[in-house]
Amino acid sequence: MCWTLEVGGDYRHSQASRRMLSGVTPAYQGTPRHSVLRVENLSVDFIRGGLGLHAVRQLSYEIGVGEAVALVGESGSGKTVSALAVLRLLPSRTARVSATSIDFDGNDLTRLADSELRKLRGYRVSMVFQDPLSSLNPLMTIGQQISEVLTTHLGLSDSQAAVRTQQLLDMVGIAGHSRRMRSYPHEFSGGMRQRVMIAMALACRPALLIADEPTTALDVTVQAQIMELLANLRKEFGMAVLLITHDIGIVAGFADRTLVMYSGRLVESGPTENVLAHPRHPYTLGLLRSIPRVDRNRRGELPSIRGMPPNPYDAIPGCAFAPRCAWAIPQCHVSSPALEAVGTDWAAACWVKPNEAV
């Protein structure tokens, strides 16, 4: 029973050693990562009314055991679609998913039968979404919904499940359980609902939690609470977290590594510290420079990225960011750059790779 599983000691160790080294260079390089999820060459196309839309192109990434990875991108960048594709949650009628391999926890998800995959979802990997109200059943009490996860996935009896539900609510900071357990979702505030979603997601101690814009619908003060909760629970459970967000601000305090997507492609990936302080892709750089900062006395106009994200239906021969890029050279409009290492465990997909600090 997964609840009683002890967290492997090697995670804490690797985490500690990484943190020790992280000031200068990340703990390791290349492949010898002990990964919980490894995605290779994931592509997703949507077919709509005879038009093909490339939502995700040739995406490869890896999430280490217990690692927090942020996937950053704006709407239409393919960040959510790529995560849904990994878990085979896209409608098969309109979405074409292809990948060389998707290795999760020792299973190749590209070959796994639907029934096997269903067992993994909610058990070894679970998701938290942006809108907790629509993810919760309005006609069931909070207690019933959490217990349901426990009884179906873990085969607990009703009374065992009730005890666990209380523990889970405790864990996510919801006090006064007996009354809370009998409440319905609409009686909870947005932040409380998101806590319930997290409790449900963590019910089986998953190896990976995918949090898709978990705080976008929340106020900043509540966002801070939820992000702190997620960070604490990650440490406590030793689980890996894939944080999908459009807000590059929230990754700084949370993610070990940051992946930046633009127009369906990974444009930069690396240790959060490096990517945020000294990005090597013009999009990352432009984005970071254009964000008004609350910690700076800066006034007047912002250095903005010109133009707008490309239409996903358009075929772009070169780099998708080239039309908006201040550093673009003729080559950028012709051929698309591949991810190229710019440091330890750090890569950018750019022909120019400007070397400027934010």
Partner 1 sequence: MLPVSEEKAPVRAPLLEVRNLTVRFPLRAPVFARGRHQITAVDGVSFSIHRGEVFALVGESGSGKTSLARAIVWVRRPDGGSVLFNGVDLATLNGKQLRMSRRGFQMVFQDPYSSLDPHQTIGRILSEPLRVHRVSNVRSRVYELLTLVGLEPAFAARFPHEFSGGQLQRVGIARALALKPALLVCDEPVSALDVSIRAQVINLLIRLQRELGLSYLLIAHDLGIVRQIADVTAVMYLGKIVEIGTNDNVFNHSGHPYTVALMSAVPVPNVTVERNRKRIILVGEIPSPGVTITGCRFHTRCWLRTRLGDPEICTSVEPPLEGRVDHSIACHFTGEVMR
Partner 2 sequence: MSQSVIDEPISVSRAQVRSQRHNAWFELILRSPASMAGLLIAIAAIGIGLFANILAPHDYAAVDVTQRFLPPSLGHPFGTDEFGRDLLSRVIFGARTSLIVALSSTLVGATLGVVLGVTAGYFGRASDEAIMRLMDIMLAFPSIVLGIALATVLGPSISNLALIIGFIQIPAFARVARSSTLVVKAQEYVVAARTLGQSNAGIMIRHVVPNILGPLVVLASLTVPGAIVTEAALSFLGLGVQPPTPSWGNLVFDGTRFIYSYPLLVALPGIVLSIAVLGFNLLGDGLRDVLDPRSRR
Assess 94 for contact with partner 2 (CB under 8 A).
no
CB-based contact 271:341 (threshold 8 Å): no
Assess 32 for contact with partner 2 (CB under 8 A).
no
Picked from partner 1, partner 2, none, the partner binding residue 191 (CB below 5 to 8 A depending on kind) is partner 1
Nearest CB to partner 1, comparing residues 205 and 278: 278
Listed in sequence order, the residues at least 6 apart from 151 whose beta carbon sits closer than 8 Å to its beta carbon are: 157, 158, 161
Which of 247, 327, 344, 353 is the binder for partner 1 (CB under 8 A)? Answer: 247
Only segment of 68-76, 82-90, 130-138, 198-206 that touches partner 1 (CB under 8 A): 68-76
Please give the residues from 308 up to 327 whose contact with partner 2 meets the rule CB under 8 A. Answer: 308, 310-311, 313-314
Site string for partner 1, 250-289 (x = CB under 8 A): xxxx------------------xx--xx-----x--xxx-
Assess 91 for contact with partner 2 (CB under 8 A).
no
Picked from partner 1, partner 2, none, the partner binding residue 343 (CB below 5 to 8 A depending on kind) is none
Structure tokens at 196: 């319930």
Q: Give alpha helix (H) positions in the chain.
A: 9-21, 79-86, 114-120, 132-135, 142-154, 158-171, 177-181, 190-202, 220-237, 272-277, 282-290
Residues that bind partner 2 (rule: CB under 8 A) add up to a total of 9
**Minimum distance of partner 1 from residue 348's CB (angstroms):** 17
Residues that bind partner 1 (rule: CB under 8 A) add up to a total of 53
**Minimum distance of partner 1 from residue 321's CB (angstroms):** 10
The closest alpha carbon to 240, from 4, 11, 9, belongs to: 11
Alpha-carbon distance of 338 to 358, in angstroms, equals: 23
Which of 23, 30, 32, 49 is the binder for partner 2 (CB under 8 A)? Answer: 49
CB-based contact 305:321 (threshold 8 Å): no
Alpha-carbon distance of 138 to 33, in angstroms, equals: 42
Alpha-carbon distance of 210 to 173, in angstroms, equals: 20
**Minimum distance of partner 1 from residue 197's CB (angstroms):** 16
Structure tokens at 6: 């002890």
Residue 143, CA distances (Å) to 148, 162, 163, 264, 307 in order: 8, 8, 10, 39, 48
In this structure, the number of other CB atoms found within 10 A of the CB of residue 304 comes to 10
Which of 75, 92, 115, 159 is the binder for partner 1 (CB under 8 A)? Answer: 75
Which of 91, 295, 315, 330 is the binder for partner 1 (CB under 8 A)? Answer: 295
Residues near partner 1 (CB under 8 A): 74-76, 189-192, 219-225, 227-228, 246-253, 272-273, 276-277, 283, 286-288, 290-306, 308-309, 324, 358
